[in-house]
Amino acid sequence: MNHFAPVALDVARIRQDFPILTQTVRGKPLVFLDSAASAQKPRAVIDAMVTAMETQYANVHRGLHWMSERTTEAYEATRDDVARLLNAADRAEIVFVRNSTEAINLVAYSYGRGVLKPGQAVLISAMEHHSNIVPWQMLRDERGIELRVAPITDAGELDMAAFELLLADGKVGLVAITHMSNVLGTYTPAARIVQIAHAHGAKVLLDGSQAVVHRRVDVQALGCDFYAFTGHKLYGPTGIGVLWARRELLEAMPPFMGGGDMISSVSYERSTWAAVPHKFEAGTPAILEGIGLGAAIHYVEAIGYDAIAAHEQALTEHAILRLSAIDGLTILGHAQDRGGVVSFTLANAHAHDVATLLDRSGIAVRAGHHCAEPLMHRFGIESTARASFAIYTTPAEIDFLADALVRVREFFA
């Protein structure tokens, strides 16, 4: 596991920024350990969206009146925020979508159908979310693209030797791989993956849905070609996500959807497309959600990724220590480099039952296959319970979880 220089993070003060955390559940203080599914929202995000609705809401881009211009400025400022967050070379490389799923589908549709050729292959890994599996299966079935899967080790790490071997014949046109597993917490060696893929002539898409929440992401340092993430895991609202792609790739890709705002001109005979990124942003966008995402990025940047990474590493190490000591509890995966996600099984208990009993203590965890059925099958299980951490998570909450799991184990003994 990577070690970050300790940076003080005032979690008690941060928790005051999240009004939902003051609630009780079934008479118990809320212990929210499901942030990998969707994080809670700070007051800054809520206020930004409410203020936009109350004082300056209008449709963007098309209006010439004051209100539309102000709303457009606020919405487009988020594109600059995202470009800064990812260290993109050009704000035009930031395409707004609904979520990571839409971002990956956009690449599958536009790059997969517009650039990849039948007989080429897409390479994914055995730890992918369904959002990074199903679009490529659809492309395979429609266009004759081969789908290859790089295996993982029992520790839950990418088998790099096998990964490179799958690239050896030069047929892989695109590697699409998670930056951080939503089940195992594993960070993939993204820069090394990109280096190997590029050496074999393949472009690389990184699913950063989890990673961008916990560590600083620099797409230029990573060297990747596409990067996807979603706003609602980064303390922003649902309905807004991001695809970053190198401008030359976006220029070469056909539009994903047709409609208003993605055109330069329209006649009954033909249409021409707007410049990137608007070529990929048909219709009225998620205006308020975009403004909310900008506020979330400002919030995270004000705290600082060094502090966030150090805090969450300490939480993860504490959670592994506490949970590993519980008889009958098995943690899935033990990668050396991992983030704040811990999935586990409990002997003689179904994950859904574990989550239900934890809920009686006010503890929110996720249970199921976590949209990663093939990964579950790789480990010979159907489901896990999953605890996931955020900037507002405390060591005391992890202790509360561990104590509650002891009681759950005793219930099923």
Residue-wise pLDDT tens digits, 62-80: 778 989 999 999 999 999 9
Q: Assign domain 46-301 to a CATH class.
A: alpha beta
CA angle, 226 as apex, 89 and 373 as ends, to 5°? 150
Residue 4 confidence (pLDDT): 46
Task: Report CA 253 to chain centroid distance, whole Å.
Answer: 23
Residue 172 confidence (pLDDT): 98
Structure token pair of residue 204: 């690389």
Decide: 351 and 329 in contact? Cβ < 8 Å.
Answer: no
Residue 277 and residue 287: Cα distance in Å, rounded? 16
Q: Domain map of the chain by residue range?
A: 11-39+304-412, 46-301
Decide: 332 and 345 in contact? Cβ < 8 Å.
Answer: yes
Structure token pair of residue 106: 């956009």
Listed residue (410, 290, 277) closest to 346, CA to CA: 410
Active site residues: 371
Burial 326-352 (b: 16+ CB within 10 A, else e): beebebbbbbeebbbbbbbbbeebebe
Residue 330's alpha-carbon distances to 1, 104, 209, 325, in angstroms, are 19, 32, 25, 10
Residue 199 and residue 167: Cα distance in Å, rounded? 9
Query: For the chain, how far is it from start to end, CA to CA, in angstroms?
Result: 33
Residue 17's alpha-carbon distances to 22, 36, 300, in angstroms, are 10, 19, 12
Amino acid identity, residue 30? Answer: L
Cβ-based neighbour number of residue 193 at 10 Å: 26
Residue 378's alpha-carbon distances to 125, 127, 211, 339, 374, in angstroms, are 11, 9, 22, 20, 6
Residue 413 confidence (pLDDT): 80
Residue 392 and residue 402: Cα distance in Å, rounded? 18
**DSSP run (H or E) holding 401:** helix 395-412
Under-70 pLDDT residues of the chain: 1-7
Residue 314 confidence (pLDDT): 96
Q: Assign domain 11-39+304-412 to a CATH class.
A: alpha beta
Amino acid identity, residue 386? Answer: R
Q: Beta partners for 158?
A: 152
Residue 19 and residue 43: Cα distance in Å, rounded? 7
